[in-house]
Chains A and B, each alone.
Chain A
Amino acid sequence: MKKISNFFSTFIGLAPLFLILVLWESFSNKPSPHFPAPSYWLQSIQQIFLNGILINSIWNTIWTFLIGLLIAASSGFILGILIGINSSIKEWTAFILEAFRSLPPPVIIPIAVLLMGYSPSMKIAVISIATLWPILLNVIAGVSQISLGVIDASKSLKLSRKDMLLKIVFPSVLPFYILGIRVAIPLAIVITLLIEMLTGMIGLGGIMIAGQRNYNSAQVFGVLVIVGLLGLGINLFSQLIERQLLKNWPPKKSL
């Protein structure tokens, strides 16, 4: 019963969106160069779907996004732990990390274009560098918040260095790590689209900007919807994984 009412409230919540789309459809002067009606969006999507460009672009965007994020997530974790547990490295690198963090991620793209040219590896490099900072800084913060009591406990239990990492450091860093990845995911989507828009490389951003250049406004709006659905899907999926990973967090206090 609750599920049905939940579904119903979600549906009601979507009402303004439907209303806008319906009004748009009925009042726009059909294939206008500025505000084409939603039915034309579908047509243009169907067109690029049929000649295979759409699927190709979606795959390209998702793959580069995933690989870039994966590189950033793994290297950010390892680097973060290394910097976090070693206080002298932390002190020496604090300002450098802070400086890189304050740099807006999109400006990495022109640097990468100059240094590496237009190539898929450039795309992946930019995504992983841009998303590295939130993950790295969160992991460092996670290591530094481990309470001294826990560390003392591990010492009195005479844990080996490996055991200490596996049993103390990793579990207590995990929520911070996941927080970092949660920040990094939308950033990675944005950067992926931006690179494709700036360089015109194949991908969702690429076909959007191509549509704009050809004054094919229906295609732009259509791809915008697909990008929105993609963002929503990735968002929901990451929330699902997060909930699974943090199922036992915070640990139940059984005293």
Chain B
Amino acid sequence: MTDNELRIKSVHYRKKLLKYIKKANAGHTGGSLSCVDILNVLYNRILDVTPQRFTDPARDRYVHSKGHSVEALYVVLADKGFFPESDLGTLCGYGSHYVGHPTRKVNGIEQNTGALGHGLAFSVGVALAAKKDKASYKVCTLLGDGELAEGSNWESMMAAAHYSLDNLTAIIDRNNLQITGRTEDVCEIEPLGAKLTAFGWSVRIVDGHDITALTDVLRAAPFEAGKPSMIIAKTIKGKGVSFIENDHRWHHKVPSDEQYEQAQQELNDLLDEMKL
């Protein structure tokens, strides 16, 4: 697929995740919209994993550490054929496996997440197992920037560097917002790159909505032999819908009927522009 085809796919993913959040009347709208392009590139270009190979020990692993943004992951997995998209009609419903955070009951999900600060340690364990087995699969995980306040992440970063896990790539969805407000107002995390470098990671910064740049940086990992790779993906929370963008109040707000129509209209207009 060309870069432009993937850009169009991202818009469709955004439309779909809004559709299912609206239907369920629940979901993490802002953070799901911000990580769509990252998941798009991972699943359509980087990760060697398919529904048919999901139990293959040699498959690439993706761990959704920022588990609340599960709606974005669900629509990407559905698109990749891990389950029928119609299943998402049960999102957050009684007895549904499609709950508000990822679980292994859903085909394609590697690990139950949702409590923050867990995905990186799990990913370190998987990457370490790959090293011990001399296996060549990649391990990727996506962290939220607000999530970095969980101290467990920094334990895991130390371990990843200590064990020279260059088969591990972590991506930070750096949208600068968390449920309460700006990350820098809640608890300062900058200078982030310098901190990560000091923790022994090889760090790159990228526009987290630029399909070409995301592809290049993810293909370039590991950036340095013997070091785990960290990508700070600069994103916009709520990306793609004007009134949701950059507003922390949309962390887990569901659009009203009117807002929903407007959001779909904006995304449809974007699609029309892209096709021209």
Indicate, yes or no, whether A interacts with B.
no
- Please report B residues at the A interface, Cβ cutoff 8 Å: none
- Please report A residues at the B interface, Cβ cutoff 8 Å: none
